[in-house]
Structure 1
Amino acid sequence: MSFTLPPLPYPKDAFGDLISPETFDYHHGKHHNAYVVKANELVAADPALQGKSLVELIELAATNGPRGLFNQVGQIWNHSFYWRGLSPQKKQPTGPLLDLITQAFGSVDGLIDTLKAEAVGHFGSGWAALNLKDGKLEVTSYHDADTPVAHGAAPLFIFDVWEHAYYVDYRNARPDYADKILRNAIDWDFVALNLDGLGLTRADQIPGG
């Protein structure tokens, strides 16, 4: 029993110029899939790891290693959550989520500006994230394959700032990528759903499940 590459929740051509089918071919079909393949190899080689969910392996590897396993399973979870947080149709936050955004950032634009600054200012590869902490919204970032799963966070949204996420469409212009995606392609319905504190489960996998 092994982990699988989750299908995209939308067609590869759904985002027009924001994210090209070629980017999805490489980012989802090559990079994300490579993490799945490598994680399965590592788990198959160690009976003590077998039968555990993706989240369980992340939590185990975060405290006890091995780091190689952490990198693979962390990236599977991060990418799975990232895909679900995107929408080809522009949406707007409403209800309790909008209230929390207004309280923490003054406006939706204020939140987007904060997320963009975190994403653009993050040195090297990693992820910008919106989490729920003590009932309030918090923007942070994670290096390389690090993930909110390893920090007990309640994740709402995660944004990929590895170069492979944007180089095909935006070359080295991370600010342009961040601005266009964050302003036009966040699935605010998915973000709001994760206010229930169950965001970790929405990108989890049980091997063979």
Structure 2
Amino acid sequence: MERREFLTLSAKWGALALLSASGVSCGNKEPGTVALPPLPYDADALAPYISGNTIGLHYGKHHQGYVNKLNKLITGTKYRKMPLEEIIRKTCGECDETAIFNNAAQVFNHTFYWNSMKPGGGGKPVGKIAEKVDAAFGSFEKFAEAFGAAAKSQFGSGWAWLVADGDDLKIMKTANADTPVAHDLKPLLTIDVWEHAYYPDYQNRRGDYIATYLTHLVNWEFAEKNLG
């Protein structure tokens, strides 16, 4: 089997995700089992901006690894039947359950990241989300500048997010596995700035990766859906 065909099939063989009203989440397919959602596009569909090789490693190794570890951690615990977002909220700040939180949050964050991009995406939003962005930041250009600055300035591993805080839109960044779900904020979009997300294609040029995300990849339809 050719590598490209393998990556594409691997993306489609994942179990189906459950979609929550607040965004994309991974549901418990059966007690104690969190499913790896399929990619919303073929593994090489974001090329040349993100290569199929990067997607294959990121999704097939990192994301799958968080799913596997989480399932091991919640087997035989009170979390085995909980929806993913509830696991995140219940374990946030609990020192003896940090590993469960980290893996659950990373399953959620990565699923949200894949859906925050699409082939042929990027550029200015339209519709309701465009109105909200303009109201919150003054213009798309000002939003892009602020979002890019947050993503670029996140020290070490982490994420930058566009979130809804009530009726207001805000930009936030989170370190490591932290997620807006743990802070009772509604995520709309995210970009992964862990090095494994961009280093194979961009090396140390995080700024170029962020600019490419905004120009060619960001999925504004997904963000508008998450507004509710």
Runs of 4+ in 1 over 3 A off after TM superposition: none
Residue correspondence of structure 1 range 56-75 to structure 2 within 5 A? 56-65=86-95, 66-75=97-106
> Aligned to 2:135, what secondary structure does the other structure show?
helix
Corresponding residue of 1:38: 69
Residue correspondence of structure 1 range 173-188 to structure 2 within 5 A? 173-188=205-220
Corresponding residue of 2:185: 153
* Distance (Å, rounded) in 1 between the aligned partners of 2:78 and 2:213: 40
> Aligned to 1:166, what secondary structure does the other structure show?
helix
Q: What's the CA shift string for 1:37-93, capped at 9, x where partnerless?
A: 00000011x332211111111011104340011110000000001111101113541
Q: Which amino acid aligns with 2:89?
A: E
Give ranges in structure 1 of 5+ residues lacking alignment: 197-209
* Distance (Å, rounded) in 2 between the aligned partners of 1:53 and 1:170: 35
Residue correspondence of structure 1 range 196-207 to structure 2 within 5 A? 196=228
Indicate yes or no: 2:140 matched with 1:122. Answer: no
**TM-score, normalised relative to structure 2:** 0.83
Residue correspondence of structure 1 range 74-113 to structure 2 within 5 A? 74-91=105-122, 92-113=124-145
Structural RMSD (CA) = 1.1
Shift of residue 5, structure 1, vs aligned partner: 1.1
Q: Which amino acid aligns with 1:54?
A: L
Shift of residue 129, structure 1, vs aligned partner: 0.3
Bigger Cα displacement from structure 2, 14-23 vs 32-41: 14-23
Shift of residue 105, structure 1, vs aligned partner: 1.6
Give ranges in structure 2 of 5+ residues lacking alignment: 1-29
Shift of residue 12, structure 1, vs aligned partner: 1.2
Shift of residue 13, structure 1, vs aligned partner: 1.4
Indicate yes or no: 2:174 matched with 1:142. Answer: yes
